[in-house]
Amino acid sequence: MNELVNMIVKKTGIPAATAQTIVKIVLDFLKKKLPAPVAGQIDGLLKGGDSVKKAEGVLGNVSSLLGKKK
């Protein structure tokens, strides 16, 4: 999540605390709207590790929900 917060701060110039609050609000909203397995993957993505592979997995699941191929 820090990577996303830092990107928002850099691109908008808003304080890091504000960016972090915004990210939390958006992520909570998305997790409520997405099926539980995908919402859980969002949490896993934010915990770090191999973020590129995790992001691809989450995006693949979202794409399949929307009926689109990766």
pLDDT tens for 35-48 read 888 887 777 777 76
Both tokens of 16, joined, read: 């890091």
- Closest to 65 in 3D by CA, of 36, 45, 25: 36
Residue 57 lies in a domain: yes
pTM above 0.85, yes or no: no
pLDDT tens for 6-33 read 999 999 999 999 999 998 999 889 888 8
Structural domain of residue 38, as residue ranges? Answer: 2-65
Domain count, the chain: 1
Residue 59 lies in a domain: yes
